Chains A and B, each alone.
Chain A
Amino acid sequence: MKSVRHGGIDCDVHPALPGMAALLPYLDPYWQEQVTVRGIDGLDLSSFPTQMDAHGRADWREAGHKPGSSLELLRRDALDGFGSQLAICNPLYGVLAIYNEHFAAAVARAMNDWITAEWLDREPRLRASITVAAQNAEHAVDEIERRAGDQRFVQVLLLSQDDVPLGNRRYWPIYAAAARHGLTIGVHAGSTYRHAITSNGWPSYYLEDYAAHAQGFQSNLLSLVHEGVFAKFPSLKVVFIESGFTWLPTFMWRANKTWRGVRAEVPWVDRPPSDIIRDHVRFTLQPTDAPPTGADMERVLNQIGSDDMLLFSTDYPHWQFDGDNVWPAGFSDTLKQRVLVDNPRNAYPRLKEALS
């Protein structure tokens, strides 16, 4: 087990921004003053309440601090804890949900400066996603251009549920910039709550919101395929982060079936959606939403029909498993090795270059 695990690439860890105060040094004077005078703070996403046990494993917390806010702990529990050679930081602060697009762009920029100075510069095993203000693709593209020279940024981070599905052309300049710079698009579970979390309105419980991310990802997957994002950007890889993946086989069956009868509506989709998904879309390991037995998981993996699609992740500091049981039952040693190293390298062009 230990030997299989060592040297993996953890594709989803969450350094937490303690609060707006931590960004002040990285904001320009105008926004510093706005933030201070107006008391702007608390922009953590309500679709990921940081106080919940589920979003901070008890043994990975430090009293009085947001889970994930300490580099020391992340080093100890995520990097050393799982023997990972690299980990990709996905900060989940609520930049994408800010209504003022100019403020969002300023915060995105500060976030990227912050993660560079306080995480990447201090820990060589860390890589990061670029935080962008996708509210307006121009802001996002500016920010991607600003960071692209730093090879430690390997991905552009979006949320799974924003105001339009991710295949929409509104996002295409972002995809073009990502493709140009060998950056992957990471889509993390989460909602800006511009729309109800289900197409039937707002449920009562967080459990339902969290479960609903699976359907939200599936809607986005349909959108990415049918809008033709991968036809337009053939080198682009999209990583679904914290989406679960055991729904994938049955989703692909249905997508293929519908496409066969209706495909003339989107003639650029000239092969079955499952083929396109297998070529372009990747999924992080945690949470696995595993079936009851390892034998069942083997069947699901078999139905997925590709060993290339899963990427190792701990989802640190979120609580998806106990102890070091990051592997659900049903993964062979060969598959683990692929998930740990080969698949992440192939999903992130910049890691491939760095490691080759």
Chain B
Amino acid sequence: MTPDDGRILVAEAPANASRSKLKLIDCDVHHALRSSKDLYPYLATRWHDHIAQFGRRRPVPFLASSPYPKTAPALSRTDSWPPNGGPPGSDLAFLQEQLLDRYNIEYGMLHLLTSGMDERNQDLGNALCCAINDWQYEHWTQKDKRLKAAIVVPGEDAVAAVKEIERWAGNPDFCQISIVTHSIEPLGRRRYWPIYEAAEAHNLPIGLHSSGTNGHAVTSAGWCSYYVEEQHNVALSQQNLAISLVCEGVFERFPALKAVIIEAGFVWVPAVCWRLDQHWARMRGEVPHLTRKPSEYFRSNLWYSSQPADEPENPQDLRQVIEWLGWDRLMFATDYPHWDMDNPEHVFKFRMTEAEQQQVFAGNARAVYGLA
């Protein structure tokens, strides 16, 4: 379903050119499949038939809708539907025009919202992940060197995930490993550690973009009713995810591992750290594997994409939060073409120094992802 805005008459208007002198690194860009058929060239014929007959099996109630219908078709800006057809994010030329050129983006980190990780048929899930990576390489990163992909892995099957990591590690088009955040178990649990071991060995950050379905209720108190809740609850679950990585000792075991929390905002991090530190002080006997205060792992191993950037009434409050968070932790992201995207020219309503801008809009990401 595409948005129906009626016919808009247009008298000629100048195209918007980028006003930004700064070259940006956008840590969350969504390309999209036109349909699952895009993957067929990279899937064994058996799966074509399987998908046609049985479809995807994911723990969700509806065949072709999100459990909570979004606020806009395809979750996207209504002006992001490519003129040549296909869903938002599926047309490279339009993505270049509307995002990369428009905002002077040096690198865009791709995150596909389709993964094989939450497919219940594990063989299909593994095949899908491999196909997605082939497709990303051929149709996106090879076609525009500004775009960098994440190795999509079937994280519930760590053996297969590691195999897929090995297939791409060292390829400069792939800058991180993507696992869905709505995993079956909290991502700090041991079953996922082989992935972290491979990530650390290949110096690839783990990109944790809010995504996936795992059959658990979206809140620890059960299912909410509205999208207005679900959208926020997804970010809350990322908080639990960060807590899990830290408390289960992932960064003790893999001290060089980098994890990037994507599309969960960042303002919540300080309060989560305060809470963890306070209660860890009384319960540390339970987690002797933690040799440091929990907050210290947040400062050494975790990074956060900026979107959706919050808008406190007093914009200076946001600066305060970044001070608490650490300027070296925050990485700008648009989340293009999704409806809740941030425009780099207007996202922060307070003044940043040039050095701060440099860090947030490019430098931190350059360091984390080892970009030239």
Contacts and interface: CB of A to CB of B under 8 A. Distances in A.
A216 interface: yes
Contacts of A215: 220, 236-237, 239-240
A253 B214 contact: no
A198 B186 contact: yes
Range for the number of chain A residues in contact with chain B: 35 or more
Contacts of B278: 287-290
Interface in A1-32: none
A47 to B, nearest CB: 10
Interface string A49-63: 000111000000000
Contact of B225 (A54, A163, A226, A288): A226
Contacts of A53: 282
Contact of B189 (A204, A207, A251, A289): A204
A207 B237 contact: no
Interface stretch (A106-114, A176-184, A242-250, A334-342): A242-250
Contacts of B320: 299
B222 interface: yes
The 3 nearest A-B residue pairs measured at CB: A219-B219, A198-B240, A250-B267
Contacts of B239: 214-215
B9 interface: no
A223 B312 CA distance: 21
Nearest to B283: A207
Interface in B210-253: 214, 216-229, 231-233, 235-237, 239-241, 243-244, 247-248
A128 B265 CA distance: 40
B220 A253 contact: no
Nearest to B218: A199
Interface string B306-322: 00101111100100110
A203 B311 contact: no
B340 interface: yes
Q: Which of B219, B220, B311 has the most CB of A within 10 A?
A: B220
Given A200-B237, A207-B287, A257-B311, A161 B275 contact: no
B183 A211 contact: no
Interface of A: 52-54, 160-168, 191, 194-208, 210-212, 214-216, 218-220, 222-223, 226-227, 244, 246-247, 249-251, 253-259, 261-263, 265-266, 269, 287-292, 296, 299, 303, 305, 319
Given A161-B221, A261-B71, A319-B282, A201 B183 contact: yes
Contacts of B265: 254
A303 B317 contact: yes
Given A199-B233, A200-B216, A201-B183, A262 B227 contact: yes
A33 to B, nearest CB: 34
B312 A218 contact: no
B312 A195 contact: no
Contacts of B248: 203-205, 208
A289 B265 CA distance: 20
Contact of B220 (A167, A196, A258, A287): A196
B188 interface: yes
Interface residues of B, number: 66
Contact of A199 (B216, B283, B313, B340): B216
Interface of B: 71, 181-189, 214, 216-229, 231-233, 235-237, 239-241, 243-244, 247-248, 265, 267-268, 270-272, 274-276, 278-280, 282-283, 286-287, 308, 310-314, 317, 320-321, 324, 339-340
B268 A199 contact: no
A219 B236 contact: yes
B271 A289 contact: yes
A212 B275 CA distance: 10
B247 A203 contact: yes
B174 to A, nearest CB: 25
A114 B114 CA distance: 56
A259 B272 CA distance: 23
Contact of A164 (B182, B186, B222, B313): B222
A263 B183 contact: no
Contact of A254 (B232, B240, B275, B313): B232
A4 to B, nearest CB: 23
Contacts of B188: 203-204
A252 B218 CA distance: 19
Contacts of B314: 303
A201 B184 contact: yes
A251 B268 contact: yes
Nearest to B236: A215
Q: Which of A194, A251, A262 has the most CB of B within 10 A?
A: A262
B346 to A, nearest CB: 14
Contact of B216 (A196, A205, A246, A319): A196
A48 B204 CA distance: 39
A211 B312 contact: no
Contacts of B311: 253, 256-257
A291 B278 CA distance: 9
B247 A208 contact: yes
A1 B275 CA distance: 26
Given A200-B240, A262-B228, A214 B221 contact: no
